[in-house]
Chains A and B, each alone.
Chain A
């Protein structure tokens, strides 16, 4: 069945360093890949997304890359700040399923000042 694997499960970096989170999906028909940030006690917040016709997308300190051949995509956060500390989730969906998202297991990012 559909599956999204996310690594690492926890990640600790020093403030100012970069953080990279990787995801692999199983269904080659997936064509939409969002990333969500979830802070304690809150709902997931969309931070960036990419579609399968694009290989890379950047928004200030955040970038996402997609390798369709290998079926994996990654989140890159540069110049990390303490407020980046949260749980990050990747997800994948197929347009013809009406937007149902398959989520990864999450990465708890800790940015130490």
Chain B
């Protein structure tokens, strides 16, 4: 009965490299959400996905960021050509289709860009 699994827990990248963050939702959950948390701030919505579909990406930066949730496998948040301002904690959450029981968050991936 695993919760939302995110890996890696910590990721260090040099400026200009690519970062790939993975999220496996709770078994049976069909909705995945990605949020970003900057130090000392609340969580900011980035993107909402269902299997093979991006439903709402209104919080995603226009460039360098992309997300997918394939039919098989985890959801991936990809950041190309990382910059220092991308350093943050990235949280994934999942919910069942009817969302009556709210979100379950993972423990996050802490990205540090050096």
Residues of A within 8 A of B112 (CB): none
Q: Do A43 and B56 have beta carbons less than 8 Å apart?
A: no
Q: Mark B90-108, 1 if CB is under 8 A from A, else 0.
A: 0100010001001111111
Interface string of A61-98 (1 = CB under 8 A from B): 00000000000000000000000000001000001011
* A-B pair number, CB within 8 angstroms: 58
B55 at the interface (CB under 8 A from A): yes
Chain B residues near A41: list those with CB within 8 A.
107
Q: Is the CB of A103 within 8 A of B44?
A: yes
Count the B residues whose beta carbon is within 8 Å of the partner chain — how many?
A: 25
- Spell out B's residues near A (CB within 8 Å): 4, 6, 31, 33, 35, 41-45, 48, 55-56, 58-59, 91, 95, 99, 102-108
A100-B56, A103-B43 known; A46-B48 Cβ under 8 A: no
